[in-house]
Structure 1
Amino acid sequence: MRRVIASWAAVALLIVWQIMAAPVFAQERPDYETFEGFADAVGTDLQEDRLSDTGFENLREDLVAWRERFLAADDVNSVQIDALSAQIEALGPAPADGETEPADIANRREELLAALAEAREPRIRAEEAHARAAALIGRIDATLRSRQTDALFQLQPSPLRPSIWQKAVARVSDVAATVKREVETNVTTRVERGTLWDRMPVVVFLLLAAAVLITRGPRWVERLIARIEARSGELGRVVYGFLISLGGIAVPLLGISLINLALISTGILGPTGERVALGANIAVLTYASGRWLGRRIFPDGGLIPSPLVHDEGVGAEGRLLALAAGLLVGLLVLIGIVIGVEGSDVEIASVLFLPVFVGLGVVLYRLGRILAASAKDIRDDDSSSGFRGYVIGILGRVVQTIGAVAPVLAAIGYFRMSAALLAPTTITLGILALLAVLHIVIRAAYGLARGLDSEAAGQALAPVLITFLLGLSSMPFIVVIWGARWTDIGELWGRFRTGFQLGDTTISPGVLITFGLVFGIGFLLTRLLQGTMRSSVLPRTRIDKGGQNAIVSGLGYLGLTLAAIIGITSAGIDLSNMAIIVGALGVGIGFGLQNIVNNFVSGIILLIERPISEGDWVEVNGQMGTVRSISVRSTVIETFDRTDVIVPNGDLISGTVTNWTRGNSIGRVIVPVGVAYGTDTRRVEKILKEVAEAHPIVTVNPPPVVLFRGFGADSLDFEIRAILTDVSFVMNVHSDMNHEIARRFQEENIEIPFAQRDIWLRNPDALASATAPRSEPRPASDAIDPALSEPDAGDAE
């Protein structure tokens, strides 16, 4: 127990010492002379190109370490520099040419400038050394990339030559003989020492457990998945089935690991055998991963959703192809480890890899066809998923092309180029498939957590954002798979962490995080203030609904503006040098977006002056309805047909607007009535007045008025004019009065005339002959002139 406590105490003291010593080390002055000599040597090596890739990688690591020191030294004397700069600024601007200033101030300015130059000297030296180190790192990266590109296009002897086959067979035989020799030697040694049989019970137990896991484990996992899918709902089936299906990878991997552990525990494996066992582990992992992905992308039975559209036959083929892809990638890793152990050359590697490349080419070509067909089905089934189908279609065609071309390149002799196409394409497809599966699971888990159904969960934004972040996180791995080095990723991250210049301000992740935090806090406070004002404060005042909305909207705009200004100031972003550019852009945007700016300003005027408010009954540009919302760009008016009309705010400010309910809801209704000539007009006036006064919405003061408007063409024209307590019901009142007028006129036998017209015909005879039926046509013989049918006298003689 004391040893444990002493160990933890020593670790704690070491950590504290490192934390306290870190600032001291950060302030140490770098040895610039040593660096200059090292940099000169690196430049010579680059110029003569005499080092291997590993040698250049080691030099690069040393240069990165130097660069980090110089970056830390760049902050030396920062407090002193800021103080001296503030003192110089306090003296005021330096005199212009031909002008002088008091001697005391001039002497003091010279002293401060000299001190400032001396304080800046370490920073300038560090910046210079940092720039040289960065330049050398860039040259090393360019050299390594150039070598990598040249290797891709280097033509090797074709692996189809029989002479190379003999070398490949001999190399594999040598590896097998080496493993056999190591096993025989170790077994003899363990038997002589008597340690082999001591470990045999553990070895037997591990082998039995591995046999059970490998033979029975996958079947147990499948049964458990089927039971969970049968008992769970649609979303639970996806989430729980996914979690349990991970056992399909873990169980076989655990089984092969137990076998390796059993062999290693006996001590019969040598270095070569252990590396081959490691390759076997990786091969089993890729095989199990391919099998698992195939079952998730091409599910059997249709109980879980698939990111692709396919029938059962295509699904079975897809599962088989995914399993084959995983197995072939595992063989690539295993063969690479085997030939790497024996230091095999490229010719032997091309022979051993060629069958695997051909198999991967066939698998990729078939998968590409499935993707292309699925893309077409996605576009046909759902027009809203056209972009997804388009992307899947392009991916399928690219995969088909690589699957057809890469094996041919390997057979010709472009072994490295073929390897750089087939393996990265297969692994990238696996990563994309994993992201698709994770998106389905995240969507289902989000639906379960929020209590949504599958359709609502599919429309949610949060799962898409999470999947997008996962996709961004996978980009470095995909880039490395396609040939980039982790040092390149680290270099990009270093540049991002250092930031970029915007005027006199350096925009770095720290600056962005500071601005985001301050702006986010300001945004939350603004929304909190708006909610408090809307729900608790303003309803207790006498301000109408429109005024309350105007105040809440104004607080929102003011709060967001202040949050942005405070965020920019807190992050130390100085945009003063960008004022001219921003001004020019503002003028250009102002001319290009005149209507939008006009509507924006008009919206602010509407919110301040409030000539109309939400809920008002208005008429503008021939459209009549109720104002539903007022934003800074437009106003939404809901017509009485329940349709929304979007009116630009500029039209409301510059045009004529009729507001029927501004200030109050009182309005007037006019009901025209016509009666037949000969009716007692005073009697009609009395009846109409009684009808108007009897309606509950008509006001008593002022009372309704009945006017005898004149003598019409067909009737005596009267008109009811009444003031309503709520003009919103004007159409209902108009209809009610018409019904009541019709009823009262029927009781009083008062006739409501309708237009009658008498038609006089000036030419009835002509019309009669035109409409008379035509006589039957005469025969052709009757149409011949009788004089022409009589025989000629000369002919008779």
Structure 2
Amino acid sequence: MRALTCLRLLSVLLVALWAVTATALADSKKAEHALKAYNDTLKKAEQTLKLPDLRSEQLQDLRTALDNLRADALTNTAELAPEIDATKSQLDQLGPKPESGTEDDTIAKKRDIIASNLAKLQGIQTQLEVAALSASQISDRAAEIERDHFFQRVFEPSQSILNPALWYRGAATIGRVSTNIFRIFKSWLSGISDADGGAKLWAVIFCLILAIAGGIGFRRLLARYIGPDLSDVSPSALSRLWRVFRGLGINILSVLVAYWFAGFSLDLLGHLPLQIQRIGWTLMAGSVFVASVQALTQGVLAPARPVWRLAMVDDAKAMQLRGLLNLASIIVALGFVLRELGSVVFLPPAYAAPVSAFVAAGVAAILAMCLLVARPAPQGTEVEPIFPNERPGGFGWVSKFRIVLWILIVAVAIALILGYLSLARFMMAQFVVTGSLLATLYLAHHLIDELVGTGFGPGWAAGDFLRKTVGLSEVAIARLGLLMGTLGDFLLVFIGLPLVATQWAYNLADFKGWITTLFFGFRVGGVTISFATIASALLAFGIGLIVTRLVTTWLDGRVLARTQVDRGIRDSIRTGAGYLGFALAALFALSYAGVDFSNIAIIAGALGVGIGFGLQSIVNNFVSGLILLAERPIKVGDWIAVTGGEGYVTQINVRSTEIKTFDNCSVIVPNSSLISEPVRNWTHEDTRGRVKVPFGVAYSSDPDQVREIVLKCVEKVQKEHRILLHPAPQVMFMNFGASSLDFELRIHIPEVDWTLVVASALRFEILSAFRE
């Protein structure tokens, strides 16, 4: 029987062990298969980096694959962590193998199985971490090679802009590009025209005309239904800003619709070759860029409508600046299209030099003309800016960079003369593209501010909802608006920073790698910092605080309110529950963040040293606050007198207690002072109080008659003010004064708060009775 019981116990233990290890083995097998694929990918990546003449596209694809591998490896590592922790806990429960004596074979066998499984899991986790590290290192090498190629292209010397051979080669380049593109289209058109006797050729022409007309018609339709009301003679700043982004959206959508319709209809007539598709994508990208800049200049400068103008310039300058900036965008887009078309028809890279010279020289000349046109207004001219930091002549931040822009023009001119054409084109093209992005982000920032400020105001749906439905105060709405504006700025930075950086020596693969590093963590010494873990811990802490707030509100409003306990007791219980919830939320958040509380002794030792020096008074006040809540020598609503003043206790905090004096002055008293120093509390046990009214009468007065008159006065005042009859009012003969017989009236009232009012009423009544 005993053997049978042991056998059953052994079976249960083996089944439990198999159930626990089955999941770990499944995860380990999955990780092992993934490791094999990771190693193969890493070997191929190493071999790829050894190849000569790698293109930027190949390096970006390689980095994307490596970043995905790294993220997947770190994900598998994170998935193994709970299994490893659970296995360690099982091994810790079994304890170490005894050094002496015998041990049950079942426990020894179970320890060996768990230890073997733990070693296997830890080995897989280490290999995954090594694979993630290798992927990161290889990706960094690929990024370094890509940046080297970029700087080699940018700083590659060529012919000077003053060399006529450069322009002759440029004309020949355009001729070759045009000829090759004509041959591509001719080959495609001849194929579809031969198939249907030329009918499809006319259909192609009709589709292209219809696409252009459709784009124009679609733009007019959008402008009619969602465009601004330009008849408004006094538009708000929100209307002006919103007009810019509506125009931006209308222009971009119109171009996309036109190209989509053209591509869709032409593809129906006959399969579009890959080269024609690339030409179409290139033309569409250039058209979208020109349309975007045109919308920005039209919205910001508004040449024909000065009331809608954002930049503070006159009509003539606005017209000239819009034309120059639109021309600069056309030159940049034309340079982009020519370079891309050269790659489509397989022209050598050297033929891009004339295009670079054309773009750099043209944009530099236009920028110089813009700076001359947008000269500051003469002194004495007053122009009211829309934005607080705006100055006459344009956006405020543009005026500050006037000298920098002139230096940029001179640098481009020198680069063109010395033959660094790619560098000059890069500087000018990036100036136009980056400037457009920064202008858009700048306007978006002010649009968000205006949307929040106006939308949360009275008369708007959002503002009325927050005031009437939610019941928020004006201060709360202002704070919510500040929060929304700040979140909008963070969103603009999060979106705009990659867009701006990708125009320079960075690309989306760099940002993806950085985001992966921030999400999965990076090591600083022996500590791993993960923003995802920190954000999750903060979220858990926030949820804990919300739950604490809800519980304390429910406790105070539903439970304590029905017990009819004293207000001070309710405040003490609510405050103590709040402290407890805060501590639990902090502990939960720290545990979720992975803080090891096994080192609490070290932390406590460090805190002890800190308390012994700088934190002693703070901890003293904190502990005193807990004592005040527990013993309740004072509570909220009490009338107390301390060294700093006398008044009512309005709040008991962690470090200090707030007293509101009768002069409406707030006195902040450290909690330690309320524990260690004498405190007079008029309402500690009950609210009853004694009122003393001293007075004097002439020596010729009858003391008995005086007492009788005064007690009658008490009876009269008692009708309007509550005066206790037990203890009974007393008139005490206090002393023989220098010129009067000194008496003192002593009464008791149920509310000590009315001491001054009752004493004043008694004095008025006694004086009136003595005069009669």
TM-score exceeds 0.5 = yes
Superposed counterparts of 1:87-236, under 5 Å: 88-93=91-96, 102=102, 116-117=118-119, 120-149=122-151, 158-159=160-161, 162-176=164-178, 190=193, 193-198=198-203, 205-212=210-217, 220=224, 224-226=228-230
Pick 1 or 2: higher relative contact order, CA cutoff 8 A, min separation 6: 2
| One-letter identity of the residue aligned with 2:335 | I
- The Cα shift of 1:626 comes to 1.9
**Conserved? CA contact 1:286–1:327, under 8 Å:** no
Q: Tell me the SS of whatever aligns to 1:587.
A: helix
**Conserved? CA contact 2:335–2:356, under 8 Å:** no
| One-letter identity of the residue aligned with 2:491 | L
Structure 1 residue 629 and structure 2 residue 651: aligned? yes
Aligned partner of 1:470 in structure 2 is 491
Alpha carbons of 1:43 and 1:575: their partners in 2 closer, same or farther (altered >3 Å)? farther
Identity %: 27
Per-residue deviation, residues 131-160 of structure 1 (Å, max 9, x unmatched): 333322222223333454566566665545
- The Cα shift of 1:686 comes to 3.4
| One-letter identity of the residue aligned with 1:89 | D
Alpha carbons of 1:22 and 1:605: their partners in 2 closer, same or farther (altered >3 Å)? closer
Count of residue pairs brought into register by the alignment? 701
Find the partner of 1:556 among 554, 557, 578.
578
| One-letter identity of the residue aligned with 2:366 | G
What is the TM-score normalised by the length of structure 1? 0.72
Q: Tell me the SS of whatever aligns to 2:691.
A: strand
**Conserved? CA contact 1:279–1:334, under 8 Å:** no
- The Cα shift of 1:379 comes to 14
| One-letter identity of the residue aligned with 1:688 | V
- The Cα shift of 1:540 comes to 1.6
Structure 1 residue 735 and structure 2 residue 757: aligned? no
Aligned partner of 1:334 in structure 2 is 334
Find the partner of 1:438 among 416, 429, 448.
448
Aligned partner of 1:429 in structure 2 is 439
Aligned partner of 2:288 in structure 1 is 282
Structure 1 residue 479 and structure 2 residue 501: aligned? yes
- The Cα shift of 1:681 comes to 4.4
**Conserved? CA contact 1:628–1:638, under 8 Å:** yes
Aligned partner of 2:549 in structure 1 is 527
Q: Tell me the SS of whatever aligns to 2:584.
A: helix
Looking at structure 2, the residues matched to 618 and 427 of structure 1 have their Cα atoms a distance apart, in angstroms, of 63
Looking at structure 2, the residues matched to 409 and 239 of structure 1 have their Cα atoms a distance apart, in angstroms, of 34
| One-letter identity of the residue aligned with 2:202 | W
Looking at structure 1, the residues matched to 672 and 327 of structure 2 have their Cα atoms a distance apart, in angstroms, of 67
Alpha carbons of 1:330 and 1:740: their partners in 2 closer, same or farther (altered >3 Å)? farther
Looking at structure 2, the residues matched to 605 and 238 of structure 1 have their Cα atoms a distance apart, in angstroms, of 60
Superposed counterparts of 1:287-326, under 5 Å: 287-291=293-297, 294=300, 301=307, 313=313, 325=325
Where does structure 1 lack aligned partners over 5 or more consecutive residues? Answer: 1-20, 748-797
**Conserved? CA contact 1:639–1:645, under 8 Å:** yes
Looking at structure 2, the residues matched to 417 and 599 of structure 1 have their Cα atoms a distance apart, in angstroms, of 62
Aligned partner of 2:732 in structure 1 is 707
Looking at structure 2, the residues matched to 111 and 680 of structure 1 have their Cα atoms a distance apart, in angstroms, of 107
| One-letter identity of the residue aligned with 1:359 | I
After superposing the two structures, state which structure 1 stretch, 401-410 or 273-282, moved more: 273-282
**Conserved? CA contact 1:515–1:568, under 8 Å:** yes
- The Cα shift of 1:663 comes to 2.5
Structure 1 residue 652 and structure 2 residue 652: aligned? no
Alpha carbons of 1:68 and 1:613: their partners in 2 closer, same or farther (altered >3 Å)? closer
- The Cα shift of 1:170 comes to 4.4
Looking at structure 1, the residues matched to 311 and 69 of structure 2 have their Cα atoms a distance apart, in angstroms, of 59
- The Cα shift of 1:619 comes to 1.9
Q: Tell me the SS of whatever aligns to 1:356.
A: helix
- The Cα shift of 1:613 comes to 1.8
Aligned partner of 2:10 in structure 1 is none
Aligned partner of 2:356 in structure 1 is 350
Looking at structure 2, the residues matched to 673 and 517 of structure 1 have their Cα atoms a distance apart, in angstroms, of 67
| One-letter identity of the residue aligned with 1:338 | L
Aligned partner of 1:604 in structure 2 is 626
Aligned partner of 1:788 in structure 2 is none
Larger radius of gyration: 1
Superposed counterparts of 1:737-776, under 5 Å: 737-747=762-772
Q: Tell me the SS of whatever aligns to 1:347.
A: helix
- The Cα shift of 1:420 comes to 4.7
After superposing the two structures, state which structure 1 stretch, 578-587 or 691-700, moved more: 578-587
After superposing the two structures, state which structure 1 stretch, 136-145 or 284-293, moved more: 284-293
Q: Tell me the SS of whatever aligns to 2:354.
A: helix
After superposing the two structures, state which structure 1 stretch, 316-325 or 552-561, moved more: 316-325
- The Cα shift of 1:524 comes to 3.7
Aligned partner of 1:784 in structure 2 is none
Find the partner of 1:616 among 619, 638, 646.
638
Q: Tell me the SS of whatever aligns to 1:636.
A: strand
Alpha carbons of 1:533 and 1:274: their partners in 2 closer, same or farther (altered >3 Å)? closer
**Conserved? CA contact 1:324–1:363, under 8 Å:** yes
Alpha carbons of 1:622 and 1:522: their partners in 2 closer, same or farther (altered >3 Å)? closer
After superposing the two structures, state which structure 1 stretch, 325-334 or 267-276, moved more: 267-276
Looking at structure 1, the residues matched to 582 and 447 of structure 2 have their Cα atoms a distance apart, in angstroms, of 39
Looking at structure 2, the residues matched to 258 and 518 of structure 1 have their Cα atoms a distance apart, in angstroms, of 47
After superposing the two structures, state which structure 1 stretch, 120-129 or 73-82, moved more: 73-82
| One-letter identity of the residue aligned with 2:679 | V
Q: Tell me the SS of whatever aligns to 1:695.
A: helix
Superposed counterparts of 1:674-713, under 5 Å: 674-676=696-698, 678-696=700-718, 697=721, 698-713=723-738
Structure 1 residue 723 and structure 2 residue 735: aligned? no
Q: CA RMSD in A?
A: 5.0
Find the partner of 2:407 among 398, 405, 408.
405
Structure 1 residue 449 and structure 2 residue 455: aligned? no
**Conserved? CA contact 1:203–1:262, under 8 Å:** no
| One-letter identity of the residue aligned with 1:197 | W
Looking at structure 1, the residues matched to 154 and 358 of structure 2 have their Cα atoms a distance apart, in angstroms, of 18
| One-letter identity of the residue aligned with 2:688 | I
- The Cα shift of 1:205 comes to 4.7
- The Cα shift of 1:557 comes to 1.8
Alpha carbons of 1:610 and 1:203: their partners in 2 closer, same or farther (altered >3 Å)? same
Superposed counterparts of 1:533-548, under 5 Å: 533-548=555-570
Looking at structure 2, the residues matched to 547 and 319 of structure 1 have their Cα atoms a distance apart, in angstroms, of 74
Aligned partner of 1:783 in structure 2 is none
After superposing the two structures, state which structure 1 stretch, 191-200 or 474-483, moved more: 191-200
| One-letter identity of the residue aligned with 2:357 | V
Looking at structure 2, the residues matched to 255 and 139 of structure 1 have their Cα atoms a distance apart, in angstroms, of 41
Where does structure 2 lack aligned partners over 5 or more consecutive residues? Answer: 1-25, 416-422, 468-472
Alpha carbons of 1:202 and 1:339: their partners in 2 closer, same or farther (altered >3 Å)? closer
Find the partner of 2:606 among 576, 581, 584.
584
Aligned partner of 2:21 in structure 1 is none
Aligned partner of 2:9 in structure 1 is none
Alpha carbons of 1:604 and 1:35: their partners in 2 closer, same or farther (altered >3 Å)? same
Alpha carbons of 1:33 and 1:551: their partners in 2 closer, same or farther (altered >3 Å)? closer
Looking at structure 2, the residues matched to 256 and 32 of structure 1 have their Cα atoms a distance apart, in angstroms, of 45
